[in-house]
Amino acid sequence: MPEERITVEVEGRRLGLSNLDKVLYPAHGFTKREVLDYYRRVAPAMLPHLRDRAATFRRFPDGVDGEPFYEKNVSRHAPDWVRTARLTNRGRRGGEETLDYPVVGDLPTLMWAANLAALELHVPQWTVGPRGARKSPDLLVFDLDPGPPADVVECCRVAETLGDLLTGDGLTVYAKTSGNKGMQLYCPVRTRSDERTSEYAKAVAEELARRSPETVVARMTKAIRRGRVFIDWSQNNTAKTTIAPYSLRGRAVPTVSTPVTWEEVEACRKAADLLFTAGQVIERVEEMGDLFGDIAEHRAAVPTR
């Protein structure tokens, strides 16, 4: 069958869309049309957390049952109105590589990404300036990754302890699910050093691992993670990215990395308590607004530990 293509106008930008009825989540029957509609509806809450950040796409052109791939460099077929940031990174073989990253700052660009079947959008903990210069980190993140049979319930218990420690250090702490099996805690920060957030996060993770070695680990070694929660502090490395708030995940079901309240974290007793699909997230945003909406208002200096 010929590829279905239509042209639409989104906020004054012309955008070609294709294969709208293609099922990207076969077990759930969720189509590309529904992916586009989700991102259109969640955009007011999501875009502030993507704006000015160099994005990495995880694309699923054959749906979640197919083989995904990560894409950092903007395709030469991208519309000329897609904003990019030219950044130089250390390559896989030790040398340097210069890439043109997409910066998803408006609805047309978000729709363009969704049309590429970029179900997952990953962003770093720093922003770029108007000319593309990389700024120092403005976010501190802890990625809580449970080792089976532990799940998000154990992550919530660790998150409560970690949240108390961070609050005691003068930081404001926000929680969201990963949309997969774990969760992340974020703190808005101010620093002029690219290393300070990693140094602090590592010290905090290692302290909790010493306090609670039966439930927490601060090292990535899989052999020691069974039944425990790995506090991945390395997400603060400037070369790393984390799944963006409100991003879909490439799972069997269209789950979403969802901001949650601390009351929800404390009340979690089974994994399903903190598992949200695209439709549920739209309902949450309509009812609760963006739970990360004031994050930029609470930046504090990175503590010394």
Q: What is the pLDDT of residues 95-150, one digit of tens each?
A: 788 999 999 999 999 999 999 999 999 999 999 999 888 999 999 999 999 999 99
Q: Are 188 and 295 in contact (CB under 8 A)?
A: yes
**Confidence at residue 305, expressed as pLDDT on a 0 to 100 scale:** 82
Alpha carbons 61 and 241: distance in angstroms, whole number: 21
Instruction: Please state, in angstroms and rounded to a whole number, the distance separating the CA atoms of residues 35 and 51.
Output: 20
Task: Give me the pLDDT at residue 126, please.
Answer: 98
Residues 6+ apart with CB under 8 A from 156: 183, 265, 266, 268, 274
CA 246 to chain centroid, in Å, comes to: 8
Structure confidence at residue 93 (pLDDT): 64
For the chain, 305 residues long, the average pLDDT of each consecutive 10-residue run is 82 96 97 98 98 98 97 91 91 77 97 98 97 94 96 98 98 98 97 96 97 94 88 96 98 98 98 97 98 97 92
Give the pLDDT confidence of 271-290 residue by residue, as tens digits: 999 999 999 999 999 999 99
pLDDT the model gives residue 131? 86
Reduced to 3 states (helix: H, G, I; strand: E, B; else coil), residue 115 is helix
Reported pTM: 0.95
